[in-house]
């Protein structure tokens, strides 16, 4: 078995859990390859006995990997997908951060969770993504023109709102007068979109949601659309440019740039352990339906 490992930060006490992870994998004769910067971070904080192979870019990965561990929080998983991309390698998130809605493996349960994974006691949850193209074409996004949570447009360097002219399959929908607009996937429906009043969608829903950010039009509500729709956005405002974010990656575009957003041609495979589910995560992490009166 061959497993890749990626992390961004060294959270408090995370060294203990990283050691547990590496020891457990070594004891089960698993080939481990660690992202170069994260390996340097591990070596800086901890003494590890084994010399590990490393990777630096997507081009160094291939389909010989059976699994990827993302160590951190949900933001780390969103960075992990920029390495995995369309290779189809399943990603298991180990939460050493805070909420960890996507990173569902708790650091205190690493040994038990790895046992389940090595014995294939898990299933795959395919997650859809969205991609972005622009007219005129821009080099801002390069090959990383996709997002698993959301693509959002928002105002830049101003307290004034922007107007987001929105069309679906070339049919005009409306002009949002707001701080911006979020186009979220089902996975992203529990993130930024939710904090702006958007609905929660099941991960396998074949939908996207348009969620305005602080709209001045009080009748502008979040809209769920089929994921076969192509969304066109044109932005105007007092500034000459606006911000576009793909998950945590932010770019600046001039107002003359038209954005086209659609469903990506590939999915990201998330590992869900046996006896775990999206609904259990909703109840556990978001206290879904919890009421102190009950």
Domain assignment present for residue 260? The answer is yes
Evaluate whether 243 touches 157 at the Cβ level (below 8 Å). no
* Whether residue 94 is found in the same domain as residue 191: no
What is the SS3 assignment for 7? strand
pLDDT tens, residue order, the chain (294 aa): 999 999 887 766 677 788 888 989 998 999 999 999 998 888 887 766 678 899 999 999 999 999 999 998 899 999 999 999 999 999 999 988 777 788 888 888 888 999 999 999 999 999 999 999 999 998 888 899 999 999 999 998 888 899 999 999 999 999 999 999 999 999 999 999 999 999 999 999 999 999 999 999 888 999 999 999 999 999 999 999 999 999 989 999 999 999 999 999 999 999 999 889 999 989 988 888 888 887
30: three-class secondary structure by DSSP? coil
Contact yes or no for 266/85 (Cβ under 8 A): yes
Q: Is there a single domain that holds both residue 261 and residue 134?
A: yes
Domain count, the chain: 2
In this structure, are 61 and 89 located in the same domain? yes
- The CATH number of whichever domain residue 21 belongs to comes to 3.40.50.10330
Same domain, 100 and 148: no
Give a yes or no: residue 216 inside a domain. yes
Domain ranges, residue 16: 2-120
Query: Does some domain include residue 289?
Result: no
According to DSSP, the residues that pair with 184 across neighbouring strands are 150, 209
Domain match, 260 and 134 both = yes
The region that residue 254 occupies, defined by phi over 0 for left and psi between -120 and 50 for alpha, beta otherwise, is beta
Catalytic residue list: 74
Q: Is residue 53 part of a domain?
A: yes
């Amino acid at each position: 078995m061959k497993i890749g490992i990626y992390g961004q930060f060294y959270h408090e006490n995370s060294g203990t859990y990283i050691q547990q992870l590496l020891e457990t994998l070594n004891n089960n004769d698993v080939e481990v390859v660690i992202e170069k910067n994260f390996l340097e971070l591990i070596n800086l904080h901890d003494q590890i006995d084994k010399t590990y192979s490393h990777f630096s870019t997507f081009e160094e990965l291939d389909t010989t990997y059976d699994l990827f561990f993302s160590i951190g929080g949900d933001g780390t998983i969103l960075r992990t997908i920029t390495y995995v991309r369309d290779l189809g390698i399943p990603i298991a998130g180990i939460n050493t951060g805070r909420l960890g809605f996507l990173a569902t493996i708790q650091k205190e349960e690493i040994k038990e969770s790895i046992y389940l994974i090595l014995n294939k006691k898990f299933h795959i949850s395919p997650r859809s993504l969205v991609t972005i193209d622009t007219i005129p074409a821009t080099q801002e996004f390069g090959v990383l023109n996709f997002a698993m949570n959301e693509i959002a447009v928002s105002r830049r360097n101003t307290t004034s709102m922007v107007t987001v002219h929105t069309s679906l399959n070339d049919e005009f929908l409306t002009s949002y007068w707001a701080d911006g607009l979020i186009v979220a996937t089902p996975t992203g429906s529990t993130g930024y979109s939710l904090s702006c009043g958007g609905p929660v969608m099941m991960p396998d829903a074949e939908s996207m949601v348009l969620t305005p950010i602080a709209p001045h039009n009080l009748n502008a509500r979040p809209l769920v659309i089929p994921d076969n729709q192509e969304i066109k956005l044109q932005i105007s405002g007092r500034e000459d440019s606006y911000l576009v974010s793909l998950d945590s990656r932010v770019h600046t575009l001039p107002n003359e740039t038209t954005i086209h957003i659609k469903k990506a041609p590939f999915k990201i495979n998330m590992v869900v352990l046996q006896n775990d589910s999206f609904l259990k995560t909703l109840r556990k992490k978001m206290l879904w339906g919890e009421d102190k009166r009950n």
